[in-house]
Amino acid sequence: MKISRKVWLDSIGVGLFTLVYSVVMGSLSLWMGSAAFVAVSYFFGAGFPKDKIWNILVSFALGIAWGLIAFRLLQVPGMDELWPSAIMFGLLTFIVLFLQGTIMKFTIVPAWLIAWGTTMLIITNVPVHHWALFVGQLYGSMLLGIFLIGYASDYFNQIMARLLPAKDTSEEAPADSAEED
């Protein structure tokens, strides 16, 4: 089985910068590493759209805010029951899509919803004592995922492409000859 150069470089780059990311996260005592992986996975899955990075980052921030709003609404007595919570989540989702389709066209709905879901997953399973610190760490983890894993591995690939250029296979292929009569 022949493994392409792209697979090798992508695997090495992402693996290397995931290692670097893990060291940074551990050194800074940031415990939300999964948020970084969710963020960078979305970014890679969306095709690494560098031209949309600010749209994605704003959408992540809005998603975190939406998660905080939803969590706060769930603290209202009776809101955590099936129908009230289902209606609340339905309305909040409607608002996301409506805002994106009207006055906030710069946002990206999947990024917004992913950050909302990630926020909800964490805060419904881990007690939060310092909300500002929590939000900063969550958003910081998402940024680190995109920039330290995503962009750094992309730069690694660019450097490796310059240092180790791909072989030119056109010289190896036999030339068509018109001499065959």
pTM across the whole model = 0.87
pLDDT at 178 over 80: no
What is the rounded distance in angstroms from the CA atom of residue 138 to the CA atom of residue 77? 27
pLDDT at 75 over 80: yes
What is the rounded distance in angstroms from the CA atom of residue 181 to the CA atom of residue 179? 6
Determine what percent of the chain is predicted with pLDDT higher than 90: 81
Element (H, E) at 160: helix 152-163
- Domain assignment present for residue 178? The answer is no
| Token pair 């004592």 in the structure block, residue | 129
- Domain assignment present for residue 168? The answer is no
pLDDT at 151 over 90: yes
pLDDT at 24 over 50: yes
- Domain assignment present for residue 174? The answer is no
Q: Pick the closest to residue 59 from 45, 43, 74 (CA basis).
A: 43
Domain that holds residue 48: 5-163
For the beta carbon of residue 63, count every other beta carbon within 10 angstroms. Answer: 28
pLDDT at 110 over 60: yes
